[in-house]
Amino acid sequence: MADIRCVTDSNNFDDSFNTRMYSGYELDPLTGLLTISSFRQFAQSILEPIRANDNRNIAIIYMDIRDFKGINEEFGYEQGDEILKTFADNLKQVYLGRACAHFLADHFVVMCFENEAIDGIKELERVTRGLCAFREILFDAGVYFFNDIATGIMDACDRAKDAMDSIRGDYSQNVRIYDDELGLKIRRKRYIINELDNAIEKGYIEAWLQPIMRTLSGRLAAVESLARWNDPIYGFMNPAEFIEILEECKQIHKLDIAVIRATCRNFSEWYKKYGTAVPFSVNLSRVDFQMCDIYSEIEKAASEFDVPHDCIHIELTESVLMQEPEFMKNVIAKFHKAGYEVWMDDFGSGYSSFNVMKEFDFDVIKIDMSFLRKFDDKSHIVIPAIINISKKLGKKTLAEGVETKEHLEALREWGCDMVQGYLYHKPVPPNDDYIHSFGDNPEIAENASDRRFYNKISHTNVLDSAVFAKILRPDGTQLRTARTVAILELKNNVFKFMYNNEAFRYILGEVDIDSIELAQRLINDPKRPYYYRLRDMANSLSKDNEYATQDLILNGDLCVVRGKFIARDVSNDLDRMMVIVTIENISKSPYLKEQSMVDSALHDMVRIYERIDLWHIDENYAEVVYNNANFYLEADRPALDYGMEVFIQKEVFPKDSARYRQFMNYKTIMDRIRSSGVGFVSENFRFRDKDDKEKYTWKTFLMVDASTSSENKVYACIRPCDSPSRMNGYESYMNSNGLS
């Protein structure tokens, strides 16, 4: 004991001083310290003499050895008793001449002066660390200072213990001094514990709602029910405060049951008023499964308020799961069997791992808001990875804490199914006008049919498909998503873009379609050549038909569109389907083999034509693209009317000239082509034979739409007639009847 430093001003006392000081008082047989009752008597008896001779503040120190239960279990009770005796001996040496007590188990109390308290704790900490060779011994301490001797000794001990309890489990500190702030916190804690039942009975506990929005449609998909305590004394109390306290004292199940019942009641009232209601999610604590049969409580509330099971979603955190994982797997299976959805809450917080996602059968993975709080380059790696893996495991995804448009755009890009956060709205009481706006305007909230439809779509993973083209921006940087993806809804024969990523928009930009709004107008324009072809492709898709492909010429580039069936909804006299599509610009493909094949094919196909002119309709001129039949050529780029008249005089059979003029009218050609639905119009005419100028030969004239988003253009193409003998028979018939 010689190396132990005494911190009191009693260094002139010998080692027998404590024995003489405690003479006549009951001592703890194990440690030789005062017992709890004798400490009270001793301390009370010396307070007045102390105050008469010393005006220093008095300190009560309450100490507790960390994990003493674990020490007993690991090394046995005899070794535990030895640690208590040695700790008590050290305590007497450090605080020589001061009242030291062993209250119970591993709890010790000291009464000393304020200036001795912290110094003594540091010295005791130093000598206690090496108390045992087999394990480091640590302790927590709470300190309460007082000057008024009217303060009850046991009240002072309670406050010191409160200070110690406030740091229990916090290994970053081992000493806490009681102050007004801590006192207020402790009083509120006791108030919360004592008033919970009354608050539930009088309706101070409320179930507030926060909207959960579908990223694909922008409509309300569900709400999360959140506990709020509107107290008549303290007003609205912080949920983080009262939830933590109620969990700690194992009373949280009462709160959770009250919230579940209140939310079921709200759902029932909402349904009666509006004829529909969106599902709601409720949060369960690990304590719920310890203190009550929470499954039966939910069943009871759902039955009483007539809430369908598929409208109640159960949110569980990893801390709920990992205490008894096998038990919780059975619980989740039980909820699923009854028709409830089970969501994993706060994925990514604490120690949440992908192993939890794999081992437990969740319907939804709810990505913790911490990922969005610091939205940096790492977030752009981690969040898509979570979404991608979730989708591959067949789970839907929801991101909470969405507060900016940047958050929303990125999450939509990555295919996150649902979002919630202050960007849409903070939690509100169930009678709030905002939440009722969804009932008053049912088109902005999902109904049961919508939910079934979108749940099928939710399993679509826009981040994972081998057929999607990988693309870089012109500056070499990678797009947020490197595969071109869009999701189209076909409803009442009208296409609507429900989702599109940056890569998809990039490809559209390559063919001068500079916005999704323009793309949507174009694919719904019956005058466009791809109007019918895209609908035929979509309608050919089914669950059994994985992909369909359509080649389109867009702004002169050959593009390949691939489509895959996602879902179809034919309920309530409604027929709509969802298709995921990709687009690849073959003409600008990074794969040279594909470019070469296309170029070779076009080169071979052009041989069947004898002449091709490109008409610039808006600018009223034509230019020759290809001519291998010695047709008459103008030296410059003639105006369309003038060029047509010259060509009629030089090449067209006179009796076909009126019909030719009508067919070639450049003022009406665009409307006629687009009305055709196939992208071109054709007609047969007689042209001067290139070998015998006195003879005319039937040929086919095609006018093909080559327009871009900025210019109307047409290819005027002449090729041999498919059935010259049939046309010659037609000519003979016309001649014999005087019609030619």
Q: What is the CATH number of the domain that holds 533?
A: 3.30.450
Q: What is the mean pLDDT of residues 183-204?
A: 94
Q: What percent of the chain has pLDDT over 70?
A: 89
Residue 704 pLDDT greater than 80, yes or no: yes
Indicate whether 507 belongs to any domain: yes
Instruction: State residue 663 phi and psi, 5-degree precision.
Output: -65, -40
Question: pLDDT at position 467, please?
Answer: 34
How many structural domains comprise the chain?
4
Q: Report the helix count and the strand count for the chain, using DSSP H and E.
A: 27, 26
Q: What is the mean pLDDT of residues 577-599?
A: 74
Q: What is the DSSP string of 308-330?
A: -GGGEEEEE-HHHHHSSHHHHHH
Q: What is the mean pLDDT of residues 631-655?
A: 83
Q: In this structure, are 478 and 364 located in the same domain?
A: no
Q: In this structure, are 36 and 134 located in the same domain?
A: yes
For residues 213 and 278, what is the distance between their CA atoms, to the nearest angstrom? 11
Residue 480 pLDDT greater than 90, yes or no: no
Indicate whether 394 belongs to any domain: yes
Compute the half-sphere exposure of residue 536: CA atoms within 13 Å on the CB side of its CA.
10
**Cα dist from 662 to 615, 632, 641, 659, 669, whole Å:** 16, 21, 12, 5, 9
Q: In this structure, are 307 and 278 located in the same domain?
A: yes
> pLDDT-derived band of residue 302, with 50, 70 and 90 as boundaries?
very high
For residues 421 and 369, what is the distance between their CA atoms, to the nearest angstrom? 9
Indicate whether 452 belongs to any domain: no
Parallel, antiparallel, or unpaired: how do β-strands 478-483 and 696-705 relate?
A: unpaired
Question: pLDDT at position 488, please?
Answer: 95
Q: In this structure, are 211 and 120 located in the same domain?
A: no
Q: In this structure, are 46 and 163 located in the same domain?
A: yes
**Domain at 238, CATH number:** 3.20.20.450
Q: What percent of the chain has pLDDT over 90?
A: 54
Q: What is the mean pLDDT of residues 495-505?
A: 92
Q: In this structure, are 633 and 652 located in the same domain?
A: yes
Question: pLDDT at position 557, please?
Answer: 82
Indicate whether 255 belongs to any domain: yes
Q: What is the mean pLDDT of residues 124-139?
A: 82
Of 573, 597, 621, which residue is a domain's last? Answer: 597
Q: What is the DSSP string of 295-313?
A: HHHHHHHHHHTT--GGGEE
Question: pLDDT at position 468, please?
Answer: 39
Q: In whole numbers, what is the pLDDT of the chain averaged over residues?
A: 87
Residue type, 148: D
Contact 480/413 with Cβ under 8 angstroms? yes
Residue 21 tokens read as: 């000081």
Question: pLDDT at position 351, please?
Answer: 60
Q: In this structure, are 593 and 716 located in the same domain?
A: no
**Domain at 108, CATH number:** 3.30.70.270
For residues 407 and 419, what is the distance between their CA atoms, to the nearest angstrom? 10
Residue 716 pLDDT greater than 80, yes or no: yes
Question: By residue range, what is the domain housing residue 131?
Answer: 17-178
> pLDDT-derived band of residue 62, with 50, 70 and 90 as boundaries?
very high
Indicate whether 462 belongs to any domain: no
pLDDT digits (tens, 9 = 90+) for 207-236: 999 999 999 999 999 999 999 999 999 999
Q: In this structure, are 505 and 651 located in the same domain?
A: no
Q: Which residue has the higher pLDDT, 601 or 461?
A: 461
Residue 592 pLDDT greater than 50, yes or no: no
Contact 701/615 with Cβ under 8 angstroms? no
For residues 686 and 727, what is the distance between their CA atoms, to the nearest angstrom? 10
Of 597, 622, 649, which residue is a domain's last? Answer: 597
Out of 245-259, 273-287, 675-689, pick the least confident.
675-689
Q: Which residue has the higher pLDDT, 474 or 198?
A: 198
Nearest CA to 85 out of 95, 73, 77 is that of 77
**Domain at 645, CATH number:** 3.30.450.20
Q: What is the DSSP string of 93-144?
A: HHTTTSEEEEEETTEEEEEEEHHHHHHHHHHHHHHHHTS-SSS---EEEEEE
For residues 482 and 740, what is the distance between their CA atoms, to the nearest angstrom? 61
Of 178, 213, 232, which residue is a domain's last? Answer: 178
Question: pLDDT at position 16, please?
Answer: 60
Q: Where are the alpha helices (DSSP H) in 586-740?
A: 592-605, 640-651, 657-663, 669-676, 724-736
How distant is the alpha carbon of residue 305 from its chain centre? 30
Question: pLDDT at position 91, please?
Answer: 94
Out of 131-140, 288-297, 404-413, 695-704, pick the least confident.
131-140
Structure letter (DSSP) for residue 558: E
Contact 639/621 with Cβ under 8 angstroms? yes
Q: What is the mean pLDDT of residues 130-148?
A: 85
Indicate whether 63 belongs to any domain: yes
Cα angle: 341, vertex 345, 351; to 5 degrees: 135
Q: In this structure, are 613 and 577 located in the same domain?
A: no
Q: In this structure, are 478 and 618 located in the same domain?
A: no
Residue 585 three-state SS: strand
Q: What is the mean pLDDT of residues 157-180?
A: 92
Q: In this structure, are 264 and 350 located in the same domain?
A: yes
Q: In this structure, are 139 and 232 located in the same domain?
A: no
The residues with which 399 forms a beta bridge, in sequence order, are 367, 419
Indicate whether 143 belongs to any domain: yes
Question: pLDDT at position 350, please?
Answer: 62
Q: What is the mean pLDDT of residues 338-346?
A: 95
Max CA pair span of the chain: 147
> pLDDT-derived band of residue 277, with 50, 70 and 90 as boundaries?
very high
For residues 19 and 25, what is the distance between their CA atoms, to the nearest angstrom? 10
> pLDDT-derived band of residue 285, with 50, 70 and 90 as boundaries?
very high
Q: What is the mean pLDDT of residues 295-313?
A: 97
How distant is the alpha carbon of residue 592 from its chain centre? 39
> pLDDT-derived band of residue 560, with 50, 70 and 90 as boundaries?
confident
Question: pLDDT at position 363, please?
Answer: 95
Residue 520 pLDDT greater than 90, yes or no: yes
Indicate whether 327 belongs to any domain: yes
> pLDDT-derived band of residue 433, with 50, 70 and 90 as boundaries?
very high
